[in-house]
A and B are shown apart, each in its own frame.
Chain A
Amino acid sequence: MDHIIKADNILFEYYNYDENGEKKEAITALNHISVSVKKGEFLVVLGHNGSGKSTFAKHLNAILMPKEGTLFVSGIDAANPQNVWNIREKVGMVFQNPDNQIVATIVEEDVAFGPENIGIPAEEIRTRVDDALNTVDMSEYKLRSPNQLSGGQKQRIAIAGVIAMKPECIVFDESTAMLDPIGRKQVMETMHKLNKEHGITIIHITHYMQEAILADRIIVMEKGEVVLEGSPKEVFKEVEILKNIGLDVPDTTYLIYLLNKEGFNFTPDVLTIKEVVDEIWQSK
């Protein structure tokens, strides 16, 4: 069993209701999609607003349940309401707004919130909280109030709160969207650290292309469907598909794309500036 997430043909719909409380129309947020995620993978899900990427994320934590299809999270059936708490122990979630996910008035109390909920003994919570704060480099702030922290710091506290529960997988639901560039960089570094050093599967939902470059795999979603899937190089060379659904591509890839359109013949799957330089330098 080396898949942590196995989604097969899942469908999810939102309903709009009229004044009488009757269903007016159904909006399909996930249209029979199948996605699986390997253990230890760093997966980025791209897509702009309304593409269904957040809806997908909420399925992984059993906040939403599929209307059709099957979803197995760490081998547990996520369509069965009885398994909700088991799944939430295995898959943690970090949300967009750092303010709206911190519960306690003291940093370490907030990190302890998750472990307290799952009934861990007091001494063990203490060590887990200290370890988690160390991992996100926030130990020196442990007795501060969250109100005195920056957005990036608050988001790292939220991450610490999730790792203190020792999950196998963490879903970041646009967790970098409200941060400044410095905060975003810190959070990205923390994500990669968790993935590399702690072997935690990371699923990062975002619309920033730059954050996807270092991923193991990228999924691009549009209108509730998966349009592209593959390694960053495979995905970003599809410049036209990405531009068509209103997503950007990294500047480097875009440069090569434009040059190729003018008649040059460069390999399209370049990502870093160095690769571009080498590509152009070595061609005749």
Chain B
Amino acid sequence: MIRDITIGQYYPVASPVHRLDPRTKILLTFIYIISLFFIDFFIGYGFVVVALYAAINVTRVPIKFMLKGLRGIVFILLFTVVLNIFFTPGGRVLFSWNFITVTEGGVKIALMMGARLILLIIGSSILTLTTSPIELTDGIESLLNPFRRIGVPAHEIAMMMSISLRFIPILLEETDKIMKAQMARGADFETGNIVRRAKAMIPIMVPLFISAFRRAEELAMAMEARCYRGGVGRTRMNSLQYKRRDCYAFIIGTLFMIVCFIL
């Protein structure tokens, strides 16, 4: 059961959006998020929904995959909406009971916040659904590179991300193995209250940590044996290159932002 967890949610199909440079996609996502916060009319959201729908169609990722991302935030969404409905003053009073008052302004803000959150999540899931984790790492490294002068360890961050991606499945498999070994000797992970179950995890965590440290040590030695000495003087086999389609994507993104500002 533990192996079902997938890292990232990359949906591999061939689409123009998949072929875009990861840096383009990251920057466009930023533009999109910033634009969202400038809109405070419902017509504006209508426009964003239409634009988003068009973009999703271009990615060829089924729309239900996009909506899946919303499941994780249902709770936050409800919380935000409810809080805003009851506690934002302003406008005509629609409903009043004891200390609870619902105003027109409150309902409006609540709906707006809800829409904003939903659009935010769907929009940024386009990035993670169409970009493989490796591309994403490369993109982040390249975008952070200019900040290296002020002490941002761009290469190190990217290296850490890609090593984590490499070892997450290995450590998951190992957890599975350790759990089975403990279960074979009568360990019980399924019954009891939360405290008991948490305590039952200790015999899993300890060997897992020891093995992770051992792996880290061996990996470090193997990397050094292959002449790894940090990002300085390093070349890349597949370096990122902006293509013409990235240029088009930026133009569309900028137009989108301008329209958002006007609305």
Total B residues in contact with A, Cβ cutoff 8 Å? 27
Looking at B58-66, B121-129, B223-231, the stretch in contact with chain A turns out to be B223-231
Total A residues in contact with B, Cβ cutoff 8 Å? 38
A125 to B238 alpha-carbon distance, docked (Å) = 9
A61 to B239 alpha-carbon distance, docked (Å) = 30
* B163 near A109: Cβ-Cβ < 8 Å: no
- In the complex, which of the residues A101, A126, A165 contacts B237, with contact meaning CB atoms closer than 8 Å? A126
* A101 near B227: Cβ-Cβ < 8 Å: no
Contacts of A225 in B (CB 8 A): none
Write the chain B residue with the least CB distance to A89: B227
B33 within 8 A of A: no
Contact with B along A108-125 (1 / 0, CB 8 A): 110011111111111001
* B162 near A122: Cβ-Cβ < 8 Å: no
Looking at B98-106, B199-207, B213-221, B249-257, the stretch in contact with chain A turns out to be B213-221
Contact with B along A87-122 (1 / 0, CB 8 A): 011001101010111111110110011111111111
- In the complex, which of the residues A106, A129, A147 contacts B170, with contact meaning CB atoms closer than 8 Å? A147
Write the chain A residue with the least CB distance to B227: A117
Contacts of A113 in B (CB 8 A): 223, 226, 228
* B162 near A95: Cβ-Cβ < 8 Å: no
A76 to chain B, nearest CB (A): 14
A276 to B237 alpha-carbon distance, docked (Å) = 52
A61 to B219 alpha-carbon distance, docked (Å) = 15
The verdict on A146 contacting B224 (CB below 8 Å), with A101-B218, A122-B237 known, is no
Contacts of A102 in B (CB 8 A): 166
The verdict on A100 contacting B227 (CB below 8 Å), with A105-B134, A105-B165, A147-B170 known, is no
Contacts of B239 in A (CB 8 A): 122
A35 within 8 A of B: no
A119 to chain B, nearest CB (A): 5
What 4 pairs across the A-B complex have the smallest Cβ distances? A101-B222, A100-B218, A112-B237, A117-B227
